[in-house]
Structure 1
Amino acid sequence: MTKVGVLGAGSWGTALANVAAENGHEVALWTHRPEQAEVINAEHKNPKYLGDNELHAGLWATGDMTQAVDKADIILSVVPTGATRGVAKQLADVLADLDQQVILVAATKGLEPHTYKRVSEILEEEVPASSRNGLAVIAGPSHAEGVVKHDPTLITAVSENLKVAEALQHALTNSNFRVYTGDDIVGAEIGAALKNVIAIAAGALEGLGYDSNAKAALFTRGLAEISRLGQGFGANPVTFMGLSGVGDLFVTATSVHSRNYRAGLQLGQGHTLDEIVENMGMVIEGISTTKVAYELSQKKHVAMPITESIYKVLYEGLDIKLAIQELMDRPVQQEGK
């Protein structure tokens, strides 16, 4: 039996912990809020994030990180991107005290503001190699709500070391949750992060009342932008045709379970950014990722007109209808450019 430690008891962290528990592994779910751990252990539910969905009785939550990771074989980092570095520093100290090595997995979809680092890069910087048996990323079309309801779900486990990816595959795969393996960490993380930007735009189109023509155009050209930026960092373009690319983009940009989609929906309905953040009550990764992606596109000289438009709407107050019109009025060109 494998011990799996999951850091972060939001919706996705809880769902991943539940999958591991259903597979018969020893699972500890860490939260920085002890009262949340008490509710999960007593009720086998995480009401704030997953409503009345029942969790496996073998899933145990704790506010003590040492208890969560002690003797763990695999640790999944599922805290928001902005909190990842601080939690990783704490984890590094705990692992050093325990004199323990683990497979460390980035399961958060975002890019760090200011540094532009991917989540796996943050973990690699903060948790010494002496405490790691391997480093991996998991990504793909996987809303937590669907996972806990046992909707058929496919994701990819990505590592430069195939054996590490296969260890994750074996730990998490079951009849409802299928895990593929891959080796393009850069592509997987870029796709997973940037689809949140396009999801905001997709929600805005819905809020404005646009139909399928506009949405199809957005998905297609949005994926082209993601691929262009990813290739600028050495990603394999084929990755963006897979689960962590078009798969994740589709589910995030079409589902009411997506916070980014819902944020865009409210944006299209005329709500301000402050109102949207207050209404959501949870982290909306796409808001900060939009700024990071825009700044990266400027530094890399990569054309990302949709991302630039969403940036201007969110950070410069550009009217969303005007932003769409400006995109439609751009000079025409070949599709592959």
Structure 2
Amino acid sequence: MNVTVCGCGRWGTFLAWYTAVQCHHTVTLYGRETSVHFQQLRRTHTNGLVTLPEKMNFSSDLHNAVESAQMVIISIGAQNLRGFLQPLSPEECAGKTLVLCMKGLESDTGLRLTQVVREHLPDADVAVWVGPGHVQDFLQGIPNCMVVDSDTQAVKERVVHAFSSPLIRFYYGEDLLGNEVGAAAKNVIGIAAGMLDGLNKTALKGALMSRGTREVGRLIQAMGGKEISAYGLAHLGDYEATVFSRYSHNRQFGEDFVRGIPYDKLAEGVPTVTALLRLGSQYRVELPICQAVDAVLNGGQDANKVLSGLFLRSLKMEF
């Protein structure tokens, strides 16, 4: 099968390697001609972490890259998805399966990423591939479980059959809305976890995980999804990789933020918290953890005061 991977960041580059080496597909890696990462990969076949096979194809022509593929994996920043899709037409994507390997919500609208795709490509087959796993662990041969979800069972089966391997075991999702919102929201929980680490309040992560899952579950249910999805692989199942791992960009961003250290990598939870608060207002769901993260990031409030107040000063029934 011909597969195109769009995005040459850490995860996108790994997916190109995984799809070629573990799944034995013919892979084209698409990147912008102006991207330093793409130029390095095309020249050296490595980013210092992932080494791509010599037979890997590279393209900076989006139309040709999409046209040559039966499946298109998209792994870019969530806030860039709308602009990325703009040049593509419904005709050239007809009969292709788009797989979103990214976690986020559009900050300006609160839309889920599949909804953004549907606005531009209403007839495309779209799936999401989310759940726990870091490149560094996979490259050491440490397997993990992930989830694939879509509007239709046929699309889910197509994606799972194409990309299953001993390294990644897939589960079929049963709640596209819940898995998208849960996957996006776990990055906000990751930022909160990093803030607790930076404040030497790591012991509060247990409370963060428990209350965070409840909070996200309430939102999913209010939006029309299944509350239990918050307890699945897309959200709670991804906490180890996001709330504790030293490889987590969102956790590290939160830690560095409260310590006043600049952080130059993508922390998808930053725009996602804005989107979640928009949804919380729209569906009338209280999101205290999201509000606390936003108060620190965007409101200039003291992180120690806000987070301590969030977990240590409330008197209420747990459930």
Fold agreement, TM-score > 0.5: yes
| 2:50 corresponding residue in structure 1 | 53
Per the alignment, in what secondary structure is the counterpart of residue 244 of structure 1?
A: coil
Which amino acid counterpart does residue 31 of structure 1 have in structure 2? Answer: G
Per the alignment, in what secondary structure is the counterpart of residue 129 of structure 2?
A: strand
Q: How does 1:69-218 map to 2 (within 5 A)?
A: 69-92=66-89, 96=91, 98=92, 100-129=94-123, 132=124, 134-212=125-203, 214-218=204-208
Per the alignment, in what secondary structure is the counterpart of residue 72 of structure 2?
A: strand
For 2:64 and 2:37, the matched residues in 1 are separated by 16
Identity of aligned residues (%): 31
- Contact conserved, 2:207 with 2:311, CA < 8 A, in 1? no
Which amino acid counterpart does residue 109 of structure 1 have in structure 2? Answer: K
For 2:140 and 2:53, the matched residues in 1 are separated by 12
Deviations 1:186-213 (A, max 9, x none): 011111101111100101111111233x
TM-score normalised according to structure 2 size: 0.93
The alignment's C-alpha RMSD in Å is: 1.8
The runs of at least 4 aligned residues of structure 1 exceeding 4 Å deviation read none
Deviations 1:249-281 (A, max 9, x none): 231111121111001111232x1xxx53xx32x
User: Is 1:221 the equivalent of 2:197?
Assistant: no
For 2:313 and 2:291, the matched residues in 1 are separated by 13
Q: How does 1:227-306 map to 2 (within 5 A)?
A: 227-269=217-259, 271=260, 276=262, 279-280=263-264, 282-306=265-289
For 1:17 and 1:146, the matched residues in 2 are separated by 16
Q: Kindly state the Cα deviation for residue 101 of structure 1 after the two structures are TM-superposed.
A: 2.2
Deviations 1:84-129 (A, max 9, x none): 001112233xx63x47420112221111012111111101111241
- Contact conserved, 1:27 with 1:59, CA < 8 A, in 2? yes
| 1:11 corresponding residue in structure 2 | 10
- Contact conserved, 1:161 with 1:183, CA < 8 A, in 2? no
- Contact conserved, 1:260 with 1:286, CA < 8 A, in 2? yes
- Contact conserved, 2:193 with 2:254, CA < 8 A, in 1? yes
Per the alignment, in what secondary structure is the counterpart of residue 103 of structure 2?
A: coil
For 1:330 and 1:183, the matched residues in 2 are separated by 37
- Relative to structure 1, the CA distance from residue 299 to residue 145 in structure 2 (aligned partners, 3 Å threshold; closer, same or farther) is same
TM-score normalised according to structure 1 size: 0.89
Structure holding more helix per residue: 1
Which amino acid counterpart does residue 65 of structure 1 have in structure 2? Answer: L
For 1:328 and 1:156, the matched residues in 2 are separated by 31
- Contact conserved, 1:53 with 1:149, CA < 8 A, in 2? no
- Relative to structure 1, the CA distance from residue 203 to residue 331 in structure 2 (aligned partners, 3 Å threshold; closer, same or farther) is closer
Per the alignment, in what secondary structure is the counterpart of residue 137 of structure 1?
A: strand
- Contact conserved, 1:105 with 1:120, CA < 8 A, in 2? no
- Contact conserved, 2:178 with 2:225, CA < 8 A, in 1? yes
For 2:42 and 2:315, the matched residues in 1 are separated by 58
For 2:55 and 2:144, the matched residues in 1 are separated by 21
User: Is 1:32 the equivalent of 2:32?
Assistant: yes
